[in-house]
Amino acid sequence: MDSSLHAAPAVPAGYGLETVVRHTYERTRTDTSGALADYIPELALVDPDRFGIAAVSVEGEVVSVGDADVAFTIQSISKAFAFCLALEVAGREKVLSRVGVEPSGDAFNAIVFDAETNRPFNPMVNAGAITVSGLLVEHLGADALDFVLDRFSAAAGRRLVVDEAVFRSEAETAHRNRGIAHLLTSAGALTAGVDATLDLYFRQCSILVTAGDLARMGATLANIGENPLTGTTAFAVDAVRSTLAVMFTCGMYNFAGNWAFDVGVPAKSGVGGGILGVVNRQLGIATYSPRLDGRGNSVRGIAAFRELAEELGLHLFDPTNRGSAMLTAFGR
């Protein structure tokens, strides 16, 4: 293991959350490795040097640094929130009859189903996420997109919109996802129709957010579905619990095991360059940096989360009780 992951940065005694976030930003911003997601033409046009970090606590503390207010498309991070909504709309039993909750170990766009159930492995890979979009269309029809935008916006604390240019770019080049949707239909996991399902899926992935938006959305999940800044309920409590569990085991593509080992918080990444992390009942954290590694995860985002997890004691299984550092960071 890289020993640098456990080398304690020189953060001043009595530091606060903002100090830690800013220090992490400075420590990780010089890493320019990775590449843009050029298989979606519009994503190849973004500024590769953008980098921002934001954090929002369930007490309402807000911290941001760098390009935390720069808009980008949510991409696969939307999968976590869509799954949460599907659990509420369609019910746990029906959702689990269509998509599993097991890590696949395969790439996010793999055309592989569970051999035992003939269903997608989990809702965080494309096949499972397309199935989830199909469930939303099946239950909500033409109102599905408005429902998704309303709930995502409630979690973000402002009205979110779809980037139409990215939507068109995805729709025109997503031959693999169309193939997956047809296979899902033949397997009985998708019943809402390929075109309507993919239209919702591409549009939900093309919703514009900032790192600040994602941090507020993460804080909403951390606060069991209620936006801590507005008091608005965006997600059902039981659905939040199930969503965080699947994010922890499956949210970082085929890097999920390493993420759980090093960072240890529920998370979801997207090829737009965002990563969302949720510290249950405490904190939402988001990073934006569009240079990706070979698995589709933001290089600087992973580095920043490793720093933050180490400095604040965020790991779910941290044995040293350094979670008390979180209380210090929030000034409590």
Q: Which residues are catalytic?
A: 76, 79, 201, 253, 271
CB 114 within 8 A of CB 100: yes
- Token pair recorded at residue 9: 């940065």
Q: Is 226 labeled as ligand-binding?
A: no
Q: Is 64 labeled as ligand-binding?
A: no
Residue 209 pairs with which residues in a beta bridge? 72
The strand ranges marked E within 191-308 are 208-209, 267-269, 274-279, 283-288
**Among 123, 104, 101, 77, CA closest to 257:** 104
Q: Is 162 labeled as ligand-binding?
A: no
Q: Is 116 labeled as ligand-binding?
A: no
Q: Is 271 labeled as ligand-binding?
A: yes
Q: Is 59 labeled as ligand-binding?
A: no
C-alpha 46/C-alpha 40 separation (Å) is: 11
The strand ranges marked E within 16-139 are 52-57, 62-66, 72-73
Q: Is 253 labeled as ligand-binding?
A: yes
Query: Cα dist. 230→58, 172, 233, 297 in Å?
Result: 11, 38, 9, 30
- Tell me the Cα Rg of the chain: 19
Residue set of the binding site: 76, 126, 170, 177, 201, 253, 271
Residue set of the binding site for substrate: 76, 126, 170, 177, 201, 253, 271
